[in-house]
Amino acid sequence: MTAMDALRAVLDRGIEALAKKLAWASVLLMLLMVVVVVLRYGFNIGWIALQDSTLFVHAVIFMGGAAYTLQRDKHVRVDVFYRHFQATTQAWVNLFGALFLILPVIGFIAVSSEPFIVMSWQMQESSPEAGGMPGFFVLKSYLWLLCGLMALQTIAEIIKSIQQIRSAGVQV
Protein backbone atom coordinates (compact mmCIF):
# COMPACT_ATOMS: atom_id res chain seq x y z
CA MET A 1 0.00 0.00 0.00
CA THR A 2 1.47 3.34 -1.05
CA ALA A 3 1.28 6.53 0.96
CA MET A 4 -1.41 7.80 -1.42
CA ASP A 5 -3.46 4.64 -0.88
CA ALA A 6 -3.14 5.02 2.88
CA LEU A 7 -4.08 8.71 2.82
CA ARG A 8 -7.09 8.06 0.62
CA ALA A 9 -8.23 5.20 2.87
CA VAL A 10 -7.94 7.34 6.00
CA LEU A 11 -9.83 10.24 4.40
CA ASP A 12 -12.56 8.00 2.99
CA ARG A 13 -13.03 6.15 6.29
CA GLY A 14 -13.13 9.40 8.24
CA ILE A 15 -15.77 10.95 5.99
CA GLU A 16 -17.80 7.73 6.03
CA ALA A 17 -17.66 7.53 9.85
CA LEU A 18 -18.84 11.13 10.10
CA ALA A 19 -21.68 10.42 7.66
CA LYS A 20 -22.91 7.53 9.81
CA LYS A 21 -23.07 9.85 12.81
CA LEU A 22 -24.81 12.51 10.74
CA ALA A 23 -27.44 9.98 9.72
CA TRP A 24 -28.44 9.85 13.39
CA ALA A 25 -28.62 13.64 13.39
CA SER A 26 -31.46 13.26 10.87
CA VAL A 27 -33.40 11.31 13.48
CA LEU A 28 -32.66 14.04 16.03
CA LEU A 29 -33.86 16.67 13.56
CA MET A 30 -37.10 14.79 13.00
CA LEU A 31 -37.71 14.43 16.75
CA LEU A 32 -37.00 18.12 17.37
CA MET A 33 -39.43 19.10 14.64
CA VAL A 34 -42.13 16.82 16.04
CA VAL A 35 -41.66 18.36 19.50
CA VAL A 36 -41.83 21.90 18.03
CA VAL A 37 -45.07 21.09 16.19
CA VAL A 38 -46.69 19.30 19.16
CA LEU A 39 -45.79 22.13 21.54
CA ARG A 40 -46.95 24.81 19.14
CA TYR A 41 -50.21 23.32 17.90
CA GLY A 42 -51.04 20.94 20.74
CA PHE A 43 -50.21 23.16 23.70
CA ASN A 44 -49.96 26.63 22.10
CA ILE A 45 -46.35 26.92 23.31
CA GLY A 46 -43.88 28.57 20.97
CA TRP A 47 -40.29 27.84 21.96
CA ILE A 48 -38.02 29.85 19.67
CA ALA A 49 -34.78 28.31 20.99
CA LEU A 50 -36.07 24.84 20.15
CA GLN A 51 -37.01 26.01 16.66
CA ASP A 52 -33.53 27.48 16.27
CA SER A 53 -32.00 24.17 17.33
CA THR A 54 -33.58 22.52 14.28
CA LEU A 55 -31.70 25.04 12.15
CA PHE A 56 -28.42 24.07 13.83
CA VAL A 57 -28.99 20.34 13.35
CA HIS A 58 -30.11 20.85 9.75
CA ALA A 59 -26.95 22.85 9.01
CA VAL A 60 -24.73 20.19 10.56
CA ILE A 61 -26.37 17.47 8.47
CA PHE A 62 -25.97 19.29 5.17
CA MET A 63 -22.63 21.00 5.75
CA GLY A 64 -21.13 17.84 7.20
CA GLY A 65 -22.77 15.50 4.71
CA ALA A 66 -21.68 17.27 1.53
CA ALA A 67 -18.28 15.54 1.57
CA TYR A 68 -19.92 12.12 1.90
CA THR A 69 -22.14 12.95 -1.06
CA LEU A 70 -19.01 13.80 -3.06
CA GLN A 71 -17.36 10.55 -1.94
CA ARG A 72 -20.34 8.53 -3.19
CA ASP A 73 -20.55 10.55 -6.43
CA LYS A 74 -24.15 11.49 -5.68
CA HIS A 75 -23.94 15.22 -6.34
CA VAL A 76 -26.11 16.57 -9.13
CA ARG A 77 -24.25 16.21 -12.39
CA VAL A 78 -25.34 17.49 -15.79
CA ASP A 79 -24.33 14.35 -17.58
CA VAL A 80 -24.52 14.76 -21.33
CA PHE A 81 -21.17 13.24 -22.31
CA TYR A 82 -19.58 11.88 -19.11
CA ARG A 83 -21.49 8.60 -18.92
CA HIS A 84 -20.34 7.68 -22.43
CA PHE A 85 -16.65 8.26 -21.64
CA GLN A 86 -14.16 5.49 -20.95
CA ALA A 87 -13.22 5.06 -17.27
CA THR A 88 -9.84 6.72 -17.86
CA THR A 89 -11.44 9.75 -19.52
CA GLN A 90 -13.91 9.99 -16.64
CA ALA A 91 -10.98 9.94 -14.23
CA TRP A 92 -9.35 12.81 -16.14
CA VAL A 93 -12.60 14.80 -16.05
CA ASN A 94 -12.90 14.16 -12.31
CA LEU A 95 -9.27 15.15 -11.74
CA PHE A 96 -9.58 18.43 -13.61
CA GLY A 97 -12.96 19.13 -12.03
CA ALA A 98 -11.50 18.62 -8.56
CA LEU A 99 -8.42 20.74 -9.24
CA PHE A 100 -10.00 23.57 -11.21
CA LEU A 101 -13.60 23.68 -9.97
CA ILE A 102 -14.10 22.15 -6.53
CA LEU A 103 -10.91 23.32 -4.81
CA PRO A 104 -11.13 26.92 -6.11
CA VAL A 105 -14.80 27.19 -5.12
CA ILE A 106 -14.06 25.78 -1.66
CA GLY A 107 -11.18 28.24 -1.32
CA PHE A 108 -13.39 31.13 -2.41
CA ILE A 109 -16.09 30.19 0.09
CA ALA A 110 -13.56 29.82 2.91
CA VAL A 111 -11.82 33.13 2.20
CA SER A 112 -14.91 35.20 1.40
CA SER A 113 -16.78 33.96 4.48
CA GLU A 114 -13.94 34.82 6.86
CA PRO A 115 -15.03 38.41 7.67
CA PHE A 116 -18.61 37.26 8.10
CA ILE A 117 -17.65 34.45 10.49
CA VAL A 118 -14.99 36.40 12.41
CA MET A 119 -17.36 39.32 12.99
CA SER A 120 -20.02 36.92 14.21
CA TRP A 121 -17.56 35.41 16.71
CA GLN A 122 -16.40 38.85 17.86
CA MET A 123 -20.01 39.90 18.48
CA GLN A 124 -20.86 36.52 20.03
CA GLU A 125 -23.89 36.71 17.75
CA SER A 126 -27.07 35.04 18.91
CA SER A 127 -30.40 34.36 17.28
CA PRO A 128 -32.12 37.39 15.76
CA GLU A 129 -35.35 36.16 17.36
CA ALA A 130 -36.26 37.15 20.92
CA GLY A 131 -35.82 34.07 23.09
CA GLY A 132 -33.79 32.32 20.41
CA MET A 133 -30.64 30.29 20.82
CA PRO A 134 -27.34 31.90 21.65
CA GLY A 135 -24.29 30.88 19.66
CA PHE A 136 -25.30 31.69 16.09
CA PHE A 137 -21.60 32.35 15.51
CA VAL A 138 -21.10 28.59 15.77
CA LEU A 139 -23.78 28.04 13.13
CA LYS A 140 -22.00 30.42 10.77
CA SER A 141 -18.73 28.58 11.38
CA TYR A 142 -20.27 25.50 9.77
CA LEU A 143 -19.28 27.12 6.47
CA TRP A 144 -15.67 26.36 7.39
CA LEU A 145 -16.68 22.84 8.39
CA LEU A 146 -18.11 22.44 4.89
CA CYS A 147 -14.93 23.80 3.30
CA GLY A 148 -12.61 21.65 5.40
CA LEU A 149 -14.50 18.41 4.87
CA MET A 150 -14.99 19.06 1.16
CA ALA A 151 -11.28 19.87 0.77
CA LEU A 152 -10.31 16.62 2.49
CA GLN A 153 -12.69 14.57 0.37
CA THR A 154 -11.57 16.37 -2.77
CA ILE A 155 -7.99 15.33 -1.97
CA ALA A 156 -9.23 11.74 -1.71
CA GLU A 157 -11.03 12.13 -5.06
CA ILE A 158 -7.87 13.52 -6.67
CA ILE A 159 -5.92 10.51 -5.41
CA LYS A 160 -8.64 8.16 -6.70
CA SER A 161 -8.57 9.80 -10.14
CA ILE A 162 -4.77 9.61 -10.32
CA GLN A 163 -4.90 5.93 -9.33
CA GLN A 164 -7.50 5.21 -12.03
CA ILE A 165 -5.42 7.01 -14.65
CA ARG A 166 -2.25 5.19 -13.59
CA SER A 167 -4.02 1.83 -13.66
CA ALA A 168 -4.58 2.45 -17.38
CA GLY A 169 -0.82 2.76 -17.81
CA VAL A 170 -0.66 6.56 -18.06
CA GLN A 171 1.93 8.39 -15.95
CA VAL A 172 0.52 11.37 -14.03
Question: Could you list the pLDDT tens digit for every one of the 172 residues in the chain?
Answer: 799 999 999 999 999 999 999 999 999 999 999 999 999 999 999 888 899 999 999 999 999 999 999 999 888 777 788 889 999 999 999 999 999 999 999 999 999 999 999 999 999 998 888 888 888 899 899 999 999 999 999 999 999 999 999 998 777 6
**Distance, CA of 76 to CA of 64 (rounded, Å):** 17
- pLDDT of 58: 94
- Tell me the pLDDT tens digit for each residue of 52-100: 999 999 999 999 999 999 999 888 777 788 889 999 999 999 999 999 9
What percent of the chain shows pLDDT beyond 90?
Answer: 76
Cβ proximity of 22 and 68 under 8 Å? yes
Nearest to 54 by CA among 139, 159, 158: 139
Q: How far, in Å, are 8, 9, 93, 122, 165 from residue 148 at the CA level?
A: 15, 17, 23, 22, 26
pTM for this predicted structure: 0.88
- pLDDT of 129: 84
